[in-house]
Amino acid sequence: MRGPHNIWRLMRTGATMERTGAMKQAMDAMEAPRGLRILARTLLWPFQWLGYKGDASQPPVTRALTALGPAYIKFGQILSTRPDVVGADLATQLQILQDKLPPFPRDVAIKTVESELGQPMAELFSEFSEPVAAASIAQVHKAVRSDTGQPVAVKVLRPGIERAFRTDIDAFYFIAWMIEKLSPASRRLRPSDVVAHFEGVVQGELDLRLESASASEFAANTANDEGFNVPAVDWALSSRRVMTLEWVEGITASDIDQIIAAGHDRALLGQRVLRMFLSHALRDGYFHADMHHGNLKIAPNGDIIALDFGIMGALDEYTRRVYAEILYGFIKKDYKRVAEVHFEAGYVPADRDVDEFARALRAVGDPIFGMDASRISMARLLSYLFEVTERFGMQTRTELILLQRTMVVVEGVSRSLDPHINIWEVSKPVVEDYIKSSIGPKALTRDLWRTAMVLSRFGPRLPQIAESLLISQTQGAQAQDDAGRRWHALWLLLGGAGSAAIGALVVLLLS
């Protein structure tokens, strides 16, 4: 219930934010009016002793969210993907939010595994370690299958985590409602919608069958990617609260000293991380949206291993083509084409001036391309690009914000592996290959063929549709109007099918 009973939780949250200094930073990010800042300070300052102290070595907002517990930590992680809501500076701070919590007892994990999988532990695993990693929602144990002797990683949800999240999400909605009532200016940031987005993400992560499905789909998409590996899901030992993957050995991507000691080619690894991300986003439209150092390992043979598939990004084919054309236009310094793509996609209102927009884009691109290769940043370009498009009236697109945020993280990983990496030179082949395969003659032939196939499915229904239209002709004036619209739709359907089929045939003959 999103009612007054949440007031105590609201007070505890506010007190913690005030005590840690996070309230001021959050107000700045939300661009809260001066009156609301004074009101919050007046109400919370006397009660800050009720708040948690947190780890004083952490930045204010990170410190507060970590102190408030798992739901708040996860909320901070989700907000790190929304610089359009919290601002670039706070989003960057939240990216380093430490998702580390004290583990729950091994015995509790064993009971959960036995209950979920319906067998005694001895029949499932001959070995089951103490937790090797503990996060806000689940923790991981290394185990050995009893039947095959294969080492596996077993992820187990925290006990009672579903109820705890429901309770905290309830409070988040109440807080969002309060913010919208007290600060009308904040409504443009849609606090309630942000909480709803968070709720949707968390509900997916609280069912490990969904994460298992994400891992399985990602593994299928990347099966032929040389130098990239996704651990296989063991579906027989997975359920709603338990997820089992093959165990993989490797060096965490942040441990540069060990990577050097192992003799890995850091320049090659940096290129591979970036190219794999772009390939997954453009080619597959399905990418790992949390590719920070902790979720990447370097295998003994140099392969990059991806872990943790709770947050994945998806792009439809049209958006991928638009994104690729934008990147390709910048690579070629064809700012007029980049501007035209934004207008063609409807990202920028049609009443704006395309030439003026192109000049604004040149002001973004030229300074960056004039930099030394080690300083050229695609993340910086995307950040500036969103600033410009916002000035020209482009509305926020959540899928592009997530893509931008992931690009920032991936670029950071690549530069940590190879500080001298030239982001554009590495990206260019991937973008060019996608452009050739998705926008050239072959793509046109493929699109026309798909259109013809879809429209052909209506063939068996055309007699019934025609009969229905004839019957509707005898009904009243409103029905006649409806029939006219249906005849028009039928004409478009037949004409569209014929045009698509003829077009596909012509292209096939000419190719």
Token pair 């939780």 is found at 9
Q: Alpha helices, DSSP H only, in 118-190?
A: 121-124, 161-182
CB contact burial 236-249 (16+ within 10 A = b; e otherwise): ebbbebbbbbebbe
User: Half-sphere exposure of 500 toward its Cβ, with a 13 Å CA cutoff?
Assistant: 17
String of DSSP letters for 241-295: SEEEEE----EETT-HHHHHHTT--HHHHHHHHHHHHHHIIIIISEEES---GGG
Edge-to-edge strands, sheet with 304-306: 228-229, 304-306, 296-298, 251-252
Handedness of CA 252, 257, 261, 264 (dihedral sign): positive
pLDDT by 10s per residue, the chain, length 511 = 455 556 677 777 777 877 777 777 777 766 666 666 666 666 666 666 777 777 777 788 888 888 887 778 877 777 776 665 666 677 767 766 655 667 899 999 999 999 999 999 999 999 999 999 888 889 999 999 999 999 999 999 999 888 888 878 877 787 777 777 766 655 555 677 777 777 777 777 889 999 999 999 999 999 999 999 999 999 999 999 999 999 999 999 988 999 999 999 999 999 999 999 999 998 999 999 888 888 899 999 999 999 999 888 888 888 888 888 887 888 788 889 988 988 888 888 888 889 998 998 888 778 776 666 566 666 666 667 777 777 787 766 666 667 777 887 888 888 889 988 888 788 888 888 887 777 666 666 666 666 666 666 666 776 777 777 777 766 654 555 554 555 444 444 444 433 333 333 333 333 3
Q: Which two tokens stand for residue 381?
A: 């370009």
CA-to-CA distance for 40 and 334, rounded, in angstroms? Answer: 49
User: Does this model's pTM top 0.85?
Assistant: no
Using H for helix, E for strand and C for coil, what is the string for 374-419? Answer: HHCCHHHHHHHHHHHHHHCCCCCCHHHHHHHHHHHHHHHHHHHHCC
List C-alpha distances in Å: 292 to 49, 77, 252, 270, 408.
Answer: 35, 12, 10, 13, 10
In terms of DSSP H, where are the helices of 418-476?
423-439, 441-456, 462-472
**Largest Cα–Cα distance of the chain, in whole Å?**
84
* Packing angle of the helix pair 317-331, 398-417 (nearest 10 deg): 50
* Whether 52 contacts 88, CB under 8 Å: no
Run of H or E including 78: helix 70-79
Q: Provide the CATH number for the domain formed by 105-157+207-247 in this structure.
A: 3.30.200.20
Query: Can you spell out the DSSP letters for 113-137?
Result: HHHHHTS-HHHHEEEEEEEEEE-SS
Q: Phi first, then psi: what are they for 299, rounded to 5°?
A: -70, 160
Report, as residue numbers or ranges, the catalytic residues: 290
pLDDT of residue 464: 75
Distance (Å, whole) CA 403 – CA 328: 16
For 385, other C-beta atoms within 10 Å of its C-beta total 21
User: What local confidence, expressed as pLDDT, does residue 508 receive?
Assistant: 34
Judging by DSSP bridges, how do beta strands 228-229 and 304-306 pair with one another? parallel
pLDDT in the model for residue 499: 38
